[in-house]
Structure 1
Amino acid sequence: MDYEWKNETFMLKHLQCVISAAEEIALKGIPSQAPFALTAIWRTKGQASILDTECFDAFVWSDMAFVQLFIDAARRNDKPPISRPSRSLIWLIKALFDYSAQGIVTFEKTRSEITYGAQTDKAGSFSGESLSPFLQGNTFLHPRIPDVDYSKIVDPSGIDLLKPERRLDGALVSAKTLGSYISISQ
């Protein structure tokens, strides 16, 4: 009851308590975890906008595994400013505390009040580097859908609507163009 949830300095000092609470929730939730989020992966050849031969796959995250992403990222946050993953864990623990104390969750209010002066979008955005400890299976190392099957992933007519300045979009535009060139020249 005495937590100063909106006070970044206070919460940095108590971040380990928040992380410990989230860890306990994740561990106790393992027996009842459920599918939560789908992550699509795609690969290009290095930084080039050319699809890799082993290109596409998807992974399902359970709710407890997804929480673990935030826990691991929050562990690396020990100085100001509070990171997005740490702030997200604070939101989760505050919302669960409110529910246990008052029987109601006002997550939108929690999210809008606890910002620590930063943007609150992209709270669940993780780079490939932070995901890699979790995605070490064979299907991550060798995605199951090859580059030549890109049209099974994205409708070719939709590729024209993509923004080629993004790496995947550019690779799909290149693959479609190259595919058209090959079929014309044959």
Structure 2
Amino acid sequence: MQKPLLMQPIWKTKGQSPILTDDAFDIFVWSDFALSRLFIESAEPNPTTISRLTRSTARLARILYEISTQRKTNIFQIYTEMAFEHQTDKEFAVNGGITRNYMKSSRRWTPIMKQDCLKEIILGGGEKLLSPERRFDQTVYFTLGQHL
């Protein structure tokens, strides 16, 4: 009953260095259920404050409730009404320590695409799309610097 929902690119570096491994790139596909579970399991209940992850989970629950009962939802309205007196521009961010529990595939350790496909990823303006991923920008810089 699960459906593909989100594609997440991954890249692998040599240990803690910013240099790409030979088997460097792959992509994981999150199902609707797996992503929902990630939200729910990441929420941190606290009686005195509400964390960003908990806000995200509450919003997701309301969105899913409205879709299941009304067959539609107004996401903008939900974000506005459920701000909990916090900013809403940074919604749901989790690090690899959390997501790796869900990515139990041998391809996480040995990605399918080689380092040399980097040129195909960034040529033709693709590098402009990488700017939010500063760590990946750094990895590209150091990896290409190795080959110059």
How does the TM-score come out when normalised to structure 2?
0.80
Pick the aligned partner of 2:78 from 107, 110, 113: 110
SS of the counterpart of 1:155?
A: helix
Contact 1:159 1:173 (C-alpha < 8 Å) held by counterparts? no
Gaps of 5+ in 1: 1-30, 182-186
1:26-175 equivalences under 5 Å are 31=1, 33-74=2-43, 77-79=44-46, 80-98=48-66, 104-155=72-123, 158-159=126-127, 166-175=134-143
**Local SS of the residue matching 2:137:** helix
Q: Percent identity?
A: 32
Query: 2:5 & 2:129 partners in 1: Cα distance?
Result: 29
C-alpha distance in 2 between matches for 1:87 and 1:119:
11
Q: Is the 8 A contact 2:130 2:136 kept in 1?
A: no
How far has the Cα of 1:42 moved from its partner?
0.8
Structure 2 distance, partners of 1:150, 1:114, is 41
CA displacement at 1:61 relative to structure 2: 0.8
SS of equivalent to 1:105: coil
Tell me which moved more, 150-159 or 116-125.
150-159
Q: Distance in 2 between matches of 1:50 and 1:113?
A: 44
> 1:97-156 CA distances to partner (integer Å, 9 max, x unpaired)?
445666652221111111122222332322101101111110012111222332233227
- Greater RCO, 1 or 2 (C-alpha within 8 Å, sep 6+): 2
Is the 8 Å Cα contact of residues 43 and 51 (structure 1) preserved in structure 2? Answer: yes
- Figure out how many residues of one structure are paired with residues of the other and give that number: 146
The change in CA–CA distance for 1:118 and 1:150 in structure 2 (over 3 A counts) is same
Q: Aligned AA for 1:78? A: P
Unaligned stretches of 5+ residues in structure 2: none
Residues 156, 176 of structure 1: 8 Å contact kept: no
| One-letter amino acid of the counterpart of residue 21, structure 2 | D
The amino acid of 1:35's aligned partner reads: P
Letter in 2 for 1:119: Q
Gap change, CA 1:171 and 1:98, over 3 Å in 2: closer
